[in-house]
């Protein structure tokens, strides 16, 4: 499954916070300010991401270390997920989070592609 970043909110990227919030095209204006908006080539039917899978941001590869319990469902239904490029906390991980390594936020821009593992 592939998506394209179609907009990046003014407050979506913070050099001090290793976190990116993704939403689909139906995000509210307030959410868009804090998010990267993605458009899917095809409407997702059901994401089944799991630890060990690889996400690609353009030519940058990231391994999924952990996926929160509601991440697949929210990604399927809303195009929404929180991408965390930091250590998995021992408590209070994001239920909608995907924890990735390496722990460096990828360089993204409008037009960047995100390639999710699974069926096309």
Domain count of the fold of the chain: 1
Q: What is the pLDDT of residue 3?
A: 97
Q: What is the DSSP letter of 89?
A: P
The predicted-structure confidence for 108-119, as pLDDT tens digits, reads as follows 999 999 999 975
The predicted-structure confidence for 34-84, as pLDDT tens digits, reads as follows 999 999 988 888 899 999 999 999 999 999 999 999 999 999 999 999 999
* Residue 61 included in any domain: yes
Asked whether residue 23 carries a pLDDT value surpassing 90, the answer given is: yes
Q: What is the pLDDT of residue 119?
A: 59
* Residue 73 included in any domain: yes
Q: What is the DSSP letter of 57?
A: E
* Residue 51 included in any domain: yes
* Residue 32 included in any domain: yes
Q: What is the pLDDT of residue 45?
A: 86
Q: What is the mean pLDDT of residues 21-31?
A: 96
Q: What is the pLDDT of residue 92?
A: 80
Domain that holds residue 26: 2-115
Which burial class, exposed, middle or buried, applies to 91 when counting CB atoms under 10 A from its CB (0-12, 13-18, 19+)?
exposed
* Residue 74 included in any domain: yes
Q: Which two tokens stand for residue 64?
A: 């999924």
* Residue 120 included in any domain: no
Confidence of residue 88 (pLDDT cuts 50, 70, 90): confident
CATH code of residue 89: 2.40.33.40
């Amino acid at each position: 499954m592939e998506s394209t970043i179609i907009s990046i909110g003014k407050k979506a990227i913070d050099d001090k916070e290793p976190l990116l919030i993704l939403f689909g095209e139906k995000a509210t204006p307030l959410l868009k300010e804090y998010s990267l908006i993605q458009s899917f080539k095809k409407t997702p039917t059901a994401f089944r991401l799991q630890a060990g899978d690889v996400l690609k941001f353009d030519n940058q590869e990231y391994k999924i270390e952990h996926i929160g319990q509601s991440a697949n469902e929210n990604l399927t239904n809303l195009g929404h997920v929180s991408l965390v490029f930091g250590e998995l906390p021992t408590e209070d991980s994001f239920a909608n989070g995907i924890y990735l390594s390496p722990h460096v936020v990828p360089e993204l821009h409008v037009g960047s592609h995100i390639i999710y593992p699974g069926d096309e």
